[in-house]
Amino acid sequence: MNDNVRVIAIDGPSGAGKSSVSRIVGERLGYLHVDSGALYRIMSWQCLENKVDTSSPSDVAACAEKVEVEFRVENGAIAYYVNGEAPGNKIRTPEINAVASPVATVKEVRDKITSILRSLTRFGNLVIEGRDITSAVFPDSPARFYLTASAEARAMRRRKEEVEKGIANQSVEAVKASLLARDKIDSSRKHAPLVKADGVIEIDSTELTLEEVVESVINSLPDGWK
């Protein structure tokens, strides 16, 4: 990694507010926002498009190996393209939600995405959100955060987002069940599970506004990073 590049790493379970917080922190500081989960979703999408059996790690690994992702800097973030197409909401459906966690257990997929994420420092300072950014991808960053919230708060936020974007209209209970199922797989997998890594700053956003979380992150950054 380029030692002059700064990486703010934010991990946490689904729906904890990582995307909104990372995007705003990035905008305020001029750091590019990187959504690492979108890369796992892209691999899942490509598996489904190619009718790959997502319960077979070797088939998933073979599919992911062939996926070529192109990177562009757009609106303060790293945007992804596959065969010239921006995946948009195609990677946010309940079907992708259901396969993304199993796909993310596959070591070859994780290795490929970890190497992509590390290479993105070529674009400049980054704020990266995910599940293993603080523990495995950039464990040496001096700015590492673990963002969490109650399961109820997370399900309500995620449902609101899905309805507003016209992606799905499931009950809060269904969204919560899907979130918890993913949390369980993400936290118990063998390779780079979601953990609260040593030395991270934990922020519980259940009772906080988005602005309060953003301020808390920015105020906790090392001197000279703001």
Site residues (CB under 6 A) for ligand DC?
Answer: 14, 36-37, 40-41, 100-101, 104, 130-133, 182, 186
CB 16 within 8 A of CB 179: no
Q: How far is the CB of 47 from ligand DC (least distance, A)?
A: 13
Q: Which two structure tokens, joined as six digits, stand for 77?
A: 């973030």
Give the nearer residue to ligand DC in terms of CB position, either 131 or 157.
131
| Cα–Cα dist 223/93, whole Å | 40
CA dist 186 and 191 (Å) reads 9
Nearer to ligand DC, 63 or 219 (CB): 63
State which residue, 104 or 149, has the beta carbon closest to ligand DC. 104
The CA–CA distances, whole Å, from 121 to 55, 118, 216, 223 equal 33, 6, 24, 20
Nearer to ligand DC, 41 or 226 (CB): 41
Minimum distance, C-beta of residue 223 to ligand DC, in the bound complex (Å): 27
Strands (E), 32-98: 32-35, 69-74, 77-82
Provide the 8-state DSSP code for 31.
P
Residue listed under structure tokens 């991808």: 137
The least CB distance from residue 172 to ligand DC, in Å, is 17
23 vs 223 by CB, closer to ligand DC: 23
How far apart are CB 212 and ligand DC at their closest, in Å? 22
| Cβ at position 31, least distance to ligand DC in Å | 17
Q: How far is it, in rounded angstroms, from Cα 181 to Cα 185? A: 7
